[in-house]
Chain A
Amino acid sequence: MERANKEVEKLGREYGLPVDPKAFVKDLPVAMQQRVEILKVLYLGADILIMDEPTAVLTPQEIQGLLNTLLLLKEKGKSIILITHKLRELMSVTDDVTVLRGGVVTGVVKTSEASEKRIASMMVGKEISFEVPKDAAKPGEEALRAEHLYYRDKFGVTMLNDVSFTVRKGEILGVAGVQGNGQTELIEVLSGMATRYRGRIVFGGREIRQSDLPLKRREAGLGHIPEDRQTMGAALGATLLENFIMGGLSDPDYTSPGMISYSKAAAVAKRQYENFDVKYASLEEPAGALSGGNLQKAIVAREIYRNPQILIAAQPSRGVDIGATMFIHEQLIKLRDAGKGILLVSSELGEIMSLSDRVIVMYNGTIVGEVDPENSSEEEVGLMMAGMKGGRS
């Protein structure tokens, strides 16, 4: 053991990544944990390192330290693949850049020959039209207000850092940003799935307390299409009918005090699923038998049926085919026109730009800017998503 410790220490010094081999990983600050990870692969003799979003949880100083390390490793003859959406890092240490979007390579350039703008445009580009025909929004009073939200996750990392915004009735507010910049946590906090946060939340004039469970929030008018439909949006082992009923245990159409009439619920579910073009074999089959797109439509059908005043739609088109996506988009517009407020969270910028009436951009747990989608380009927003200040507010 002693020999192993010494070797690790030596390795650490050689690569400028000093660590204490005897420390427990869980006690180390995140930046140190990352050093351990790097040392681990080096110790095993790696010549090629693949680093996947390594700076997600680092402070600016730590980021600089990591970038210096990467340069040092490069000098020592290691090859590094750096996966990142942060342009500044990209520009400062890489030699070549390959841009991937939707599983397709959209561009390969030498870093020295490219500009941030060019790379950003390759990241977000013009894609198959997400255009949805819609009238101008007629926003009314406030549907949702968030004030100074702070949230730290169970690892102690600050995921929401003073987030404030408003969604009005009859409006779609889009939250743009690369996955992992606090959007998931924001939704957890708003929906009541996470309870230890600081800040103020108001649903249409009704104050929401930190301790209010999801039930209370739904009663206050909240609807929620979750970003992970398999873990949170449905019970794959339960029937479609049982899935439909979720959240609607007070619905007078098929419940009475203490009881549920599954036959009445089936009639309602059938009608709603038909309206929402959900293709299924029988209401008694497990939800897991549905395709991704159909399951998503079923969830959308359910949530909209509950007649929410404010609907959180998280990654609504993720893993969903084009046809279903277009249908879901139409439904969201319809909901907006009916005077409801929608908070649309998506890492698909095209979706955000075409559906939203206003767009805010999240980066690193804060809102770095707000744009009017009619008057901004995707490149501008892309830059903001990538941490470059800019764009018009």
Chain B
Amino acid sequence: MLDFGILGVTMRMATPILLAGTGTLYNDRAGVTNITLEGSMLLGGFFAVACSFFTGSWGLAVLAGIATGVAVSLVFYFLTSVCGGDELVVGFSMNILLDGLSIFLLKQIFHQSGSLVDERIAGVPQISSGMLGRIPILGDLLDGQTWIVYFTFAFALLTWVVLYRTPFGLKVLACGENPQAAVTVGVGVLKIRFLCNLIGGAACGLAGVQISLGFLSLFTQGMTVGRGFIALGAVVFSKGNPLRLIAVTLFFGFAEAMSNRVQLMQLPSELVLMLPYLAVVILTFVRFDRLRKRTQKQEAC
């Protein structure tokens, strides 16, 4: 059951969560509470499949997915920052709206309900090279993944550099820590938050592409199954640190990979499917309990 192949599955499972999570990290650090990950990933995945269906090109599909994510984030930005909507209410409703929209479009464009499977859909190719495949352990990890997987981890590492080593990143951090102080030093808080919104949206769209076109090439309604929310949880656990985010999402990815593997054994699939979500809950208890103990110590005289 446990061979090094599971490392590859872990990376693949972690990718959408890490990707959406890293994009949302920008929002989180800048002080924006954008919970539309789930809906954004879903609709991005849908439009990627639709585009691939009509054009046969996975490259255009990727662009379609990213564009969808950006569009979603623009709508969110408009409704909240411009029109004064509450971020949680708008975010929550948008998730429902986007899910419904994907089902609606699935029916109206493709006359399908449930899934869209068609050989015309071109998936994102998996990169498999004989040489890479033969390297022990690392080969299992890296071989056969789509370029989106490599990009995601690079993006997460790059985010660390951006946040902590570039002026833009510092401005983002300032906006989130203390927007009033940031304004006094001349940081354009609204502009920074707008840009972070876009980055988050693009990342979520791409994550959706990975889900729908990255392994199998199809779209199923609700195919994100809560991964957007798991990513949200990961962002909370990461405390804003991209490196910690990588660790957390690998943990969740591993839980999902295990649930895949274990299904092949005699264990009931339903119980095993619970694993990723239970992982989040367990981590919540572990992490917050430590946080609580630390605050208690601080307060005592």
A touches B (Cβ under 8 A)? yes
A35 located at the interface, meaning its Cβ lies under 8 Å from any Cβ of chain B in the complex? no
B-contact 0/1 string along A143-183, CB 8 Å cutoff: 00000001110101000000000000000000000000000
A199 and chain B: residue at smallest CB distance: B301
Residues of B154-211 contacting chain A, CB below 8 A: 165, 185
**Contact A198/B298 with A1-B165, A44-B185 known, Cβ cut-off 8 Å:** no
The answer to whether B301 and A154 have CB atoms under 8 Å apart is no
**Quick one: closest B residue to A158, CB to CB?**
B301
Q: Are A196 and B165 in contact (CB under 8 A)?
A: no
Interface check A197, CB cutoff 8 A: yes
B131 lies within 8 A of chain A by Cβ: no
Q: Do A197 and B165 touch across chains, with their CB atoms under 8 A apart?
A: no
Q: Mark A188-228, 1 if CB is under 8 A from B, else 0.
A: 00000000111000000000000000000000000000000
Chain B 268-301, CB within 8 Å of chain A: the 1/0 string?
0000000000000000000000000000001111
Tell me whether B299 and A198 are in contact (CB under 8 A): no
Are A150 and B301 in touch, CB under 8 angstroms?
A: yes
A197 to B301, CA, bound (A): 7
Cβ contact within 8 Å between A198 and B301: yes
Closest Cβ of chain B: how far from A27's Cβ, in Å? 13
Contact B298 A154 (CB under 8 A): yes
A298 CB, nearest partner CB in chain B, Å: 29
What are the residues of chain A within 8 A of B299 when measuring CB–CB?
Answer: 154, 196
Number of B residues, CB within 8 Å of A: 6
* Residue contact A196 to B185, C-beta cutoff 8 Å: no
User: In angstroms, how far is the closest chain B Cβ from the Cβ of A166?
Assistant: 23
Interface of chain A residues 217 through 244 with chain B (CB within 8 A): none
Beta-carbon nearest neighbor of A40 in chain B: B185
**In the complex, residue of chain A having the shortest beta-carbon distance to the beta carbon of B300:** A196
Contacts of A152 in B (CB 8 A): 301
Residues in chain B near residue A1, CB distance under 8 A: 165
**Beta-carbon nearest neighbor of B164 in chain A:** A1
CB distance from B178 to the nearest CB of A (A): 11
* A31–chain B nearest beta-carbon distance, Å: 19
- Taking a contact as CB atoms under 8 Å apart, the answer to whether B298 and A156 are in contact is yes
Closest to A150 in B: B301
B167 to A, closest residue via Cβ: A4
Residues of B within 8 A of A44 (CB): 185
The complex places the Cα of A198 from the Cα of B299 at a distance, in Å, of: 12
A153 nearest CB across to chain B (Å): 9
Most buried by A among B165, B299, B300: B299
Contacts of B301 in A (CB 8 A): 150-152, 196-198
Cα of A154 to Cα of B185 in the assembled complex, Å = 27
- Give the interface centre of B165, B298, B299, B301 by most chain A CB atoms within 10 Å: B301
By beta carbon, the residue of chain B nearest A156 is B298
CB distance from A6 to the nearest CB of B (A): 15
Q: How far is the CB of A156 from chain B (nearest CB, A)?
A: 7
Q: How far is the CB of A289 from chain B (nearest CB, A)?
A: 21
A150 to B300, CA, bound (A): 11
How far apart sit A151 and B301, CA to CA, in the bound complex (Å)? Answer: 7
CA distance A44 to B165 in the complex (A): 19
Point out the residues of chain A lying under 8 angstroms from B165, CB to CB. 1
Docked complex: B125-178 residues within 8 A CB-CB of A: 165
Smallest beta-carbon distance A4→chain B, Å: 10
User: CB-CB contacts of A9-40 with B at 8 A, as 1s and 0s?
Assistant: 00000000000000000000000000000001
1/0 contact trace for A287-307 toward B, CB 8 Å? 000000000000000000000
* Closest A residue to B186 using CB positions: A44
Q: How far is the CA of A150 from the CA of B301 in the complex (A)?
A: 8
* Bound CA–CA A152/B298 (angstroms): 9
- Smallest CB-CB separation from A195: which chain B residue? B299
Identity of the chain A residue whose Cβ is nearest the Cβ of B296 in the assembled complex? A196
A288 to B58, CA, bound (A): 57
Bound form: Cα–Cα A154–B296 in Å: 10
In the complex, what's the smallest C-beta–C-beta distance from A233 to chain B, in angstroms?
24
Closest CB in chain B relative to A5 CB, distance in Å: 12
List, in ascending order, chain A residues with CB within 8 A of B298's CB: 154, 156
In angstroms, how far is the closest chain B Cβ from the Cβ of A2?
Answer: 10
Query: B1 to chain A: closest CB distance in Å?
Result: 44
Shortest CB distance B23–A (Å):
24
A151 to B300, CA, bound (A): 9
CA distance A170 to B299 in the complex (A): 36
In the docked arrangement, what's the CA distance between A156 and B301, Å? 8
* Residues of chain B within 8 A of A197, CB atoms compared: 301
A99 CA to B165 CA in the complex, in Å?
Answer: 45
In the complex, the chain A residue whose C-beta lies closest to that of B298 is A154
What are the residues of chain A within 8 A of B185 when measuring CB–CB?
40, 44
Name which residue of chain B comes closest to A152, CB basis: B301
* 14 sampled A-B residue pairs with Cβ under 8 A: A1-B165, A40-B185, A44-B185, A150-B301, A151-B301, A152-B301, A154-B298, A154-B299, A156-B298, A196-B299, A196-B300, A196-B301, A197-B301, A198-B301
Q: A44-B185, A151-B301, A196-B301 are in contact. List 11 more A-B contacts (CB 8 A).
A: A1-B165, A40-B185, A150-B301, A152-B301, A154-B298, A154-B299, A156-B298, A196-B299, A196-B300, A197-B301, A198-B301
Across the A-B interface, give the 3 residue pairs with the lowest CB-CB distance, nearest first.
A196-B299, A152-B301, A198-B301
Interface on A for B, CB 8 Å cutoff?
1, 40, 44, 150-152, 154, 156, 196-198
